[in-house]
Amino acid sequence: MNRPSRRTFAAFVLATLGLGWLPCGHAAEPIKIGLVAALSGQSALSGEAITRGLQIAIDEVNAQGGLLGGRRLELVRRDDESNPAKGVTAARELIYREKVAVIFGGIDTPVALAIAPLANQAKVPFMNPWAAGTAITRNGAKDNYVFRVSAVDELVDKGMLAYARKTFNTSRFGLLMINNPWGESNQKGLVAALKEQGMEPVASEKFEASDVDVTPQLTRLKAAGADTIFLVANVGPAAQVVKSMDRMGWKVPVVSHWGVAGGRFTELGGPNASNVHFVQTYSFYGKLSPVGTKVVAALQARYPDIKQASDITPAVGVANAYDGMRLTALAIANAGSTDGEKIRQGYYGIDRYEGLIKVYIHPFSATRHDALSENDYVWAQFIDNRIVPVGMKP
């Protein structure tokens, strides 16, 4: 048996005592970024889009040397199955077992609303790249750890009204809301938006996510004289609305929140799903900025199914997550630490960032945790199963 040399033994002792090799080991410890999202079910396409946006941003940061003296970012995912209870369980596991520095997630507003109190209690920043419920970021917490790069319901609601009046020249609006906290959020927002214009809905209806026929609600809206439907629902329920309208033979404009963009809407809703117009925060169609060109090239290099920009869908999941991750990297760098409170302050210290969606100037403050405004929205529809800005050819 060969005995270890004195030099080898001395190195071992130094390493054991923490006097040798430790700085390198510490520098190599990854900074974990958590993701809680629908990775299965009807909204899985949204979860995959968010994953890809995060991963491209993480790849860029790591290629530039990582953060905090060379520590690489590492994405750790959990599936919430669009279920609030499962979302909380997943977030708790990421916080307390995986020790993530920041959590991303919340495709569904009910899931995000359930995770927000946990994040605030644990003092771990929660960055939301999708769910639009107003109360997610405006949650009343004294020390608020919830941030968002996404749409905000009360702003979207004003945009839906302005878009419908301008595009369709209509004035008798019927509300059709999914019966959950997201629907309630938009119910309030749309009523408030109409009131500001001296108007009110001709009728308002709710329906369940499990409903396979929405004809009764639509019949009442039609009887009330609605000439436009404001729709708030995710993919599956929204598809039932379109199919129910088809069965009725009722054709009026449908202006929707972006829940329809999160999965297989045209497949589930049929050919008339393309008549639904909905809000987005970004599109890869048209002339791209240098950042947009860079992101498309990175996506094509990493994901074989992306041959061209139009294959990136839903674009908002990719774009919101990408910008949210790059802003988070800046916050961690500002913090000089993975401590949650320091990262929270690090978000407030972001000065300028040239992102995918826009150039961000002081995007966050103690009283503003939403980085996007109504000026950052675009309107789209499905054409040939692709999300295309209204008026633009695929």
Q: CA 99 to CA 340: how far, in whole Å?
A: 11
Answer whether 225's CB lies under 8 Å from 202's CB: yes
Rg (alpha carbons) of the chain, rounded to whole number: 23
Which residues, in sequence order, are bridge partners of residue 254?
Answer: 229, 276
Strands 31-37 and 102-105: parallel
- Residue 62: the pLDDT is 98
pLDDT at 18: 40
CA distance 234 to 257: 9
CATH 3.40.50.2300 is held by the domain 154-280:
yes
Q: Please tell me the distance from the alpha carbon of residue 23 to that of residue 13, in angstroms, as a whole number.
A: 15
Q: What are phi and psi of 319, to 5 degrees?
A: -65, -45
pLDDT recorded at residue 146: 98
| The token pair that represents 138 in the structure block | 């405006």
Q: Do domains 31-151+287-373 and 154-280 have the same CATH topology?
A: yes
Provide the pLDDT for residue 77: 98
The whole-model pTM stands at 0.83
pLDDT given at position 13: 39
Domain ranges for the chain, please list them: 31-151+287-373, 154-280
Q: Hey, how many other C-beta atoms are within 10 angstroms of the C-beta on 374?
A: 15
With beta carbons less than 8 A apart as the criterion, state whether 350 and 331 touch: yes
What is the C-alpha end-to-end distance of the chain, expressed in Å?
72
Of 220, 230, 215, which is closest to residue 173 (Cα–Cα)?
A: 230
Residue 216: what pLDDT? 97
Residue 393: the pLDDT is 65
Please state, in angstroms and rounded to a whole number, the distance separating the CA atoms of residues 167 and 145: 38
Helix axes 109-122, 181-196, angle to 10 degrees: 100
**Position of tokens 């958590």?**
34
Nearest by Cα to 66 from 22, 95, 29: 29
- Per-block average pLDDT, block size 10, for the chain (394 residues)? 46 40 57 96 88 98 97 97 96 98 93 97 97 93 97 93 95 97 93 97 96 96 98 92 95 93 78 90 91 97 92 92 98 98 98 97 97 91 84 67
CATH of 31-151+287-373 among 3.40.50.2300, 3.90.1580.10, 1.10.3720.10, 3.40.50.1100? 3.40.50.2300
pLDDT at 340: 98
Cα dihedral angle (318, 320, 323, 325), rounded to 10 degrees? -80
